[in-house]
Amino acid sequence: MATPTITRPEWSTVIDPVLQKELEQHVLVTNWDKLLGMVDTVYNWGRRSSLWPLGFGLACCAIEMICTASSRFDIARFGAEVFRGSPRQADVMIVSGTVTKTMMPMIARLYDQMPEPKYVISMGACATGGGPFKEGYNVVSGIDKYLPVDVYIPGCPPTPQALLNGLIMLQKKIDGEKLDIPLLGKHGNTPWYRTELDRDIPVPVLGPDLIDLRTVEIAAEKTAQGLLDAREATLTHPPKIAAPQRESATPEPAEPAKPAAKGAKKVKRAEARPSIVWLGNEGLSALAERLNAKFGAETATIIQAGLLIPADKLLVVARYLRDENSIRYDYLASLQSVHYEDCIEVNYQLDSSSKPGSLIELRVRTAEAEGEGEVPSVVGIWRGADFQEREVYDMMGVRFTGHPELARILMWDGFAYYPLRKDYLEPYYEGPSKVFDSRVEEGFGRHFRAEEVNPYGTNMKIPRDFKDWAKLDAAEDTKGLGLLPSGVNVSELDTDQFIISMGPQHPSTHGVFRMNLRVDGETIIGLKPVMGYMHRNHEKIGERNTFLMNFPFTDRLDYLTSMGNNFGYALAVEQLMGDDAKPPERAEFIRVIMAELTRVASHMWSIGFLLNDIGAFFTPALYAIEERELILDLFEWASGSRMMCNYYRFGGVAFDLPPGWLERARGIVNDRLDGKIDELDRYLSGNEIVLDRCKGIGVLTAEQALAFSTAGPVLRASGVPYDIRRVAPYSIYSHFTFDVIKGSAGDVYDRYYVRLLEMRESVKILKQALADIPEGPILPGKKSYQIKVPAGEAYSRVENPKGELGYYVVADGGPTAYRYHVRSPSFINLTALEQMCLGHTIADVVGILGSLDIVLGEVDR
């Protein structure tokens, strides 16, 4: 029997589309799908409006991330200002800065420890793809090699606006998510509900290099095949030059004896002097004669205005220089090493607190072969040599006999190479000097990425004989285990001591710094700083960069003071270039103005964050940042960038000041800054709790401060009036009247107060400079991209806000620096950290670290 067919009248199914739309807008028309869709809307709305970031900053971008939370940008508007210290409470990880191999396991673990659903914002060029540091040996070329990234933010660093935009993009992405509810037949894209999916990533291992456990078999196979060695054999290696020899003894024969590798053209030589202000040739030869008379002939040989000391006599000479010499060399300004063809030279820049400005350089030479060099450690004489010697050991493989704790400092124990040796080529090595062929069309016929030429496809280099693949284990902390502070036995009634690792991700370590603390209850009885989590190979990259190209990299050292960093680097190369690069007067004024503005901005930041560290939840910091923002506006106007100004050039500056700049700068300096500094002074300096928390904490006596080679406000707060602007005047600082501020107690409070007063002095200098700035050219000649730098070596010193920033540059007459070393004040100031913290409590450690005012970009370089 046929079933009767029901025919509907047409009007019942077809609704006028216009009417339908109208209805949907004003009447709640719903069906099952739409209802299910509304679940998504609610689900997404809650999460998009409450994205709490993990309080976690890696590098320069982190500064901009903090600025995003500051008054001008205020990420709080989006409900995202709740930066959580613990990953357990965070929703989004903002990877803000260069991801280094040393840091990668920590980032992976933190990511894993975040609860689902979790998101990753890759902030800035470095996090996205390695950025300017990509060819570094310790840099992961993009966080997406490991973590699933949701939003990429371009920029170096991205401005706060860009981060806000990134956040909005992430919100949009969340808006598009659909719940997976199989029970209701609803399909979506929320993988965290799918039980079969593994969302967390295995923590990579720091073996001979950073090893991703997901691809370890492939890596092992390729290593056994020796693919990387084969590739390296085809590349041009960087040249090695011979160490400078005594000129009077062998005047010329050295030249013909060596067949000129770089063509017959004689290399122009710079004037031999260790630094612009130094002891002088007469003084040096007198000193050399004295040394030879006292310790036997050949103790001191003058080579290029430095004293060559045989390694076995180093300690006696050093002790003599510190204790008996007419000028007491009690301050080890800098210590670095150069890899020459025939030796590794360790050299020491020494200065005196009693007669500052009489800098001398000692040279000690040792075997060139890898891991064979040995030099006696001078830690017993200048304790400030501690970290610097470890750095030389880490980078060059020179062992320092008698060093109390010779462990790797920037890389990790187990890293297979000594990366600053000339024969070490980075995994992404392409050539000795930029511009690399892969960056131009003609080179290989097409652009390619570094990953494509490295057989591993990632920034990895593993020695061919490495066999222990099976032993690689993420549960071993290769970087920190060797640096556990030792304890003492405790009696039965006392607290058992335990070890806390504070950092690398911690709200108050000012970046990815880590301290292994041994505590008795809350009292610190041992502290070992662990660093290198931000080591992004500045010096190695500096050897590939042409001189001019290196400017933007110096910006990223201490990313709060890019102008000051530029200044020091410009001075170092100008010292080599001599009169060719003498800046005209207007340029000198502009340089000083920028450097002093930088000092104000940096000290503002430092004071604000010191207060934050002792518990004043960001309020002083944000007020200080407001002033900093105004200064950054001036920088941006003049140079085009807020943070990474790249403004100085050899012999001047990049651009003249734009019209109106000076008026605005005068307005800020004359009418505003003084009042704001008074405001900080009024509210902070006398606050009971600030006094309680800062007075008598972290005391460093004048002798200790000198012995530890501390610099800048840290040194001056201990009562040593040592300011490079005065003791070794550079640029036109001798024209200005200003006082060198010094403290007396050397405690946290004095370091704070010295910074505050220094801002006043900077404003004083700024007022004079802004009043007197002349018209005129800003460069000695025409703007040029071809910089010819004569061979020689130079050590420049500038008084950066953090302390003495030194650049040691060895040029061989080629387009790049042969050796390029940065004496970073933040790094060396940390040497004194353990001394300052012992006996204090965990809360004080945070304050003491804040008072040192470190910036990790500069500590680890």
Partner 1 sequence: MVINNFAFIGVLLLGAIGFALAPLLVVFLVAPRKKSRSKLDTYECGVLTFGETWVRFRIQYYIFALMFVLFDIETVFLYPWAVGYAGFGVFALVEMIVFLAILFVGLLYAWLKGVLKWA
Partner 2 sequence: MLVVIGILIKILVVVGITQGAVAYMILLERKVAAYSQDRIGPNRCGSNLVLPGGFRLNLPFGLLQPIADGAKMILKEDVIPSYVEKPLYILAPAISIIAAMIGFAVIPFGPVGTQAPSGVNFQIAPGVDIGIVYVFAIGSLAVYGVILGGWASNNKYSFLGGLRSSAQLISYEIPLGMSILGMVLLAGSLDLNTIVNYQDGHGLWLTRWLGLPAWGVFVQPIGCLLFIISAFAETNRLPFDLPEAEQELVGGYHTEYSAMKFGMFFLGEYLHVITVSYLTVILFFGGWDAPFLNQIQSDWFSGLLKALVLLVKVGLMVFFMMWVRWTIPRFRYDQLMDLAWKALIPIALVNLVATAAIVELLRSSH
Q: Contact positions toward partner 2, by CB under 8 A?
A: 24-28, 30, 34, 38, 42-43, 45-50, 70-71, 74, 76-79, 81-82, 84-86, 88-89, 91, 113, 115-117, 192, 498, 500, 506-508, 521-522, 611-619, 622-623, 626, 687, 689-690, 692-693, 841-844, 846
69 binds partner 1 (CB under 8 A): no
CB 32 within 8 A of CB 587: no
Q: Which residues of 782-798 are buried (b: 16+ CB within 10 A; e: fewer)?
A: eeeeebebbbbbbbbbb
Contacted entry of partner 2, partner 1, none for residue 656, CB cut-off 5 to 8 Å set by kind:
none
CB 373 within 8 A of CB 398: yes
CB 102 → partner 1: shortest distance, Å? 11
By CB under 8 A, name the one of 21, 34, 88, 172 that touches partner 1.
88
Exposed, middle or buried, 19 (CB in 10 Å: 0-12/13-18/19+)? Answer: exposed
Calpha distance 410→363 (Å, rounded): 24
Quick note: the x/- pattern for partner 1 over 366-405, rule CB under 8 A, is: ----------------------------------------
User: What values do phi and psi take at 344, rounded to 5?
Assistant: -110, 125
By CB under 8 A, name the one of 55, 124, 136, 504 that touches partner 1.
504
Contacted entry of partner 1, partner 2, none for residue 549, CB cut-off 5 to 8 Å set by kind:
none
Contacted entry of partner 1, partner 2, none for residue 475, CB cut-off 5 to 8 Å set by kind:
partner 1
Contacted entry of partner 1, partner 2, none for residue 637, CB cut-off 5 to 8 Å set by kind:
none
39 binds partner 1 (CB under 8 A): no
249 binds partner 1 (CB under 8 A): no
- The alpha carbon of 860 is separated from its chain's Cα centroid by a whole number of angstroms, namely 5
Contacted entry of partner 1, partner 2, none for residue 78, CB cut-off 5 to 8 Å set by kind:
partner 2
Contacted entry of partner 1, partner 2, none for residue 264, CB cut-off 5 to 8 Å set by kind:
none
Contacted entry of partner 1, partner 2, none for residue 189, CB cut-off 5 to 8 Å set by kind:
none
Q: Which residues pair with 96 in a beta bridge?
A: 123
Residue 737 is given by DSSP the state -
Calpha distance 34→29 (Å, rounded): 9
Q: From its phi and psi, is residue 185 left (phi > 0), alpha (psi between -120 and 50) or beta?
A: left
Quick note: the x/- pattern for partner 1 over 117-146, rule CB under 8 A, is: x-----------------------------
Calpha distance 289→184 (Å, rounded): 93
- SS3 label, residue 433: coil
625 binds partner 1 (CB under 8 A): no
* Count of residues making up the chain: 861
Identify the residue whose tokens are 């910091």.
Answer: 621
The pair of structure tokens assigned to 362 is 């000692």
Given the rule CB under 8 A, which of 92-100, 319-327, 463-471, 488-496 is the region that contacts partner 1?
Answer: 488-496
Q: Which lies closer to partner 1 via its Cβ, residue 397 or residue 503? A: 503
Return all residues near 656 (Cβ < 8 A) that are at least 6 apart.
Answer: 586, 778
Contacted entry of partner 1, partner 2, none for residue 28, CB cut-off 5 to 8 Å set by kind:
partner 2
455 binds partner 1 (CB under 8 A): no
Find the binding residues for partner 1 in span 627-646 (CB under 8 A): none
CB 214 within 8 A of CB 474: no
Q: Which residues of 188-203 are buried (b: 16+ CB within 10 A; e: fewer)?
A: bebeeeeeeeeeebeb
CB 608 → partner 2: shortest distance, Å? 11
495 binds partner 1 (CB under 8 A): yes
CB 94 within 8 A of CB 162: no
Contacted entry of partner 2, partner 1, none for residue 611, CB cut-off 5 to 8 Å set by kind:
partner 2
By CB under 8 A, name the one of 51, 60, 63, 106 that touches partner 1.
106
Q: Which lies closer to partner 2 via its Cβ, residue 86 or residue 401? A: 86
Pairing mode, strands 360-366 and 306-308: parallel
Q: Which lies closer to partner 1 via its Cβ, residue 483 or residue 573? A: 483
Given the rule CB under 8 A, which of 304-312, 333-341, 410-418, 514-522 is the region that contacts partner 1?
Answer: 514-522
Q: Which lies closer to partner 2 via its Cβ, residue 71 or residue 225? A: 71
Calpha distance 599→738 (Å, rounded): 14
Q: What is the tally of helices (H) and strands (E) in the chain?
A: 30, 20
CB 796 within 8 A of CB 275: yes
- SS3 label, residue 186: strand
By CB under 8 A, name the one of 497, 545, 575, 800 that touches partner 1.
497
Contacted entry of partner 1, partner 2, none for residue 106, CB cut-off 5 to 8 Å set by kind:
partner 1
196 binds partner 1 (CB under 8 A): no
Contacted entry of partner 2, partner 1, none for residue 25, CB cut-off 5 to 8 Å set by kind:
partner 2
Calpha distance 539→827 (Å, rounded): 14
CB 592 → partner 2: shortest distance, Å? 31
472 binds partner 1 (CB under 8 A): no
Calpha distance 3→61 (Å, rounded): 73
CB 582 within 8 A of CB 574: yes
Calpha distance 799→711 (Å, rounded): 9
By CB under 8 A, name the one of 442, 468, 496, 688 that touches partner 1.
496
By CB under 8 A, name the one of 21, 172, 187, 199 that touches partner 1.
199
CB 843 → partner 2: shortest distance, Å? 5
- SS3 label, residue 334: strand
Contacted entry of partner 2, partner 1, none for residue 181, CB cut-off 5 to 8 Å set by kind:
none
Calpha distance 29→762 (Å, rounded): 68
Contacted entry of partner 2, partner 1, none for residue 615, CB cut-off 5 to 8 Å set by kind:
partner 2
Q: Please count the residues of this chain forming the interface with partner 1, following the rule CB under 8 A.
A: 46
Evaluate the CA torsion angle 518, 520, 521, 527 in order and state its sign: negative
Q: Which lies closer to partner 1 via its Cβ, residue 224 or residue 474? A: 474
Amino acid at site 44 = N
Q: Which lies closer to partner 1 via its Cβ, residue 413 or residue 674? A: 413
Contacted entry of partner 1, partner 2, none for residue 480, CB cut-off 5 to 8 Å set by kind:
partner 1
502 binds partner 1 (CB under 8 A): yes
Which is nearest to 290 in space by CA: 280, 300, 305?
Answer: 300
By CB under 8 A, name the one of 203, 576, 657, 702 that touches partner 1.
203
CB 700 within 8 A of CB 718: yes
By CB under 8 A, name the one of 72, 74, 82, 113 that touches partner 1.
113
Contacted entry of partner 2, partner 1, none for residue 588, CB cut-off 5 to 8 Å set by kind:
none
Q: Which residues pair with 349 in a beta bridge?
A: 334, 361
447 binds partner 1 (CB under 8 A): no
Which is nearest to 713 in space by CA: 786, 818, 621, 607?
Answer: 607
CB 87 → partner 1: shortest distance, Å? 6
Q: From its phi and psi, is residue 583 left (phi > 0), alpha (psi between -120 and 50) or beta?
A: beta
Q: Which lies closer to partner 1 via its Cβ, residue 477 or residue 656? A: 477
Q: Where are the alpha helices (DSSP H) in 724-815?
A: 724-727, 748-772
102 binds partner 1 (CB under 8 A): no
Which is nearest to 124 in space by CA: 113, 132, 136, 116?
Answer: 132
Amino acid at site 841 = T
- SS3 label, residue 350: strand
Contacted entry of partner 2, partner 1, none for residue 198, CB cut-off 5 to 8 Å set by kind:
partner 1
Q: Which residues bind partner 1 (CB under 8 A)?
A: 86-88, 106-110, 112-113, 116-117, 190, 192-193, 198-200, 202-203, 474-475, 477, 480-481, 484, 493-506, 514, 520-523, 841
